[in-house]
């Protein structure tokens, strides 16, 4: 992978001089070249229409694959471009030839959208989901357990879950909650209840 010029990247992203921005998972701060490219394309669409504008920039769109392949030191055939990370992950996961009796191995800190896909496929294909205890970073520790999982909406149960997370992860979960409330994402958070069915598996 190529070495990144941090000074140039910061210069291209003027907003980082004014704030510390942690909410980068779905949409990070827009750098100046991206901002200008969006403005230029909107002007082109206004001038000649959306379809013709797409035809005009087709070579640029195709160059994306070669540019990212060079950045990641891989072949362009290994690059896939989709609208967001969840969509990309779903495309990969749902393409797996899973069948009745297969097991999905995951951890307590799994991303909720991924877990929803697990539950969906488990019901459709007769899969089993194994959940391992983990730390705040997803590092596995302890024994594996058989369990069930379901989405919850009961406010009391959600508040008890929040308290348990604060007790376990301390300042880390408080920082996460602060920025989730700041961006409004806390209201869209999904909660999954995992119930252990038996003693740790031998």
Q: List all residues 6 or more positions away from 29 whose beta carbon is below 8 Å from its beta carbon.
A: 13, 15, 16, 21
Token pair listed for 68: 């990212």
pLDDT in tens, 54-100: 999 999 888 989 999 998 899 999 998 888 888 888 999 999 999 99
Token pair listed for 71: 């950045």
The CA distance from 40 to 181, in Å, is: 34
What backbone phi and psi angles, to 5 degrees, belong to 53? -65, -40
Band (190; pLDDT cuts 50, 70, 90): confident
pTM, entire model: 0.56
Q: How many CB atoms lie within 10 A of CB 37?
A: 14
For the chain, give every domain's residue range. Answer: 6-78, 97-196
SS3 16: helix
SS3 142: coil
pLDDT in tens, 138-153: 788 877 767 777 778 8
SS3 37: helix
Q: Is 185 or 154 the better-scoring residue by pLDDT? A: 154
């Amino acid at each position: 992978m190529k070495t990144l010029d941090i000074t140039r990247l910061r210069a291209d992203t003027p907003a980082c001089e004014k704030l510390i921005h942690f909410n980068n998972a779905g949409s990070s701060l827009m750098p100046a070249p991206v901002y200008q490219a969006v403005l230029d394309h909107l002007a082109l669409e206004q001038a000649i229409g959306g379809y013709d504008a797409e035809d005009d920039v087709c070579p640029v769109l195709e160059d994306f694959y070669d540019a990212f392949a060079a950045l990641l030191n891989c072949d362009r055939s290994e690059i896939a471009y989709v609208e967001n990370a969840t969509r990309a992950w779903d495309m990969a996961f749902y393409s797996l030839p899973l069948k009745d009796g297969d097991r999905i191995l995951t951890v307590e800190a799994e991303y909720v959208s991924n877990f929803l896909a697990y539950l969906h496929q488990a019901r459709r294909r007769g899969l089993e989901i194994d959940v391992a205890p983990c730390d705040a970073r997803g590092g596995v520790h302890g024994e594996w357990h058989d369990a069930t999982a379901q989405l919850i909406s009961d406010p009391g149960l959600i508040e008890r879950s929040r308290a348990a997370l604060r007790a376990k992860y301390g300042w880390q979960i408080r920082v996460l909650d602060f920025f989730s409330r700041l961006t409004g994402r806390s209201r869209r958070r999904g909660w999954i209840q995992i119930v252990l069915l038996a003693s740790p598996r031998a």
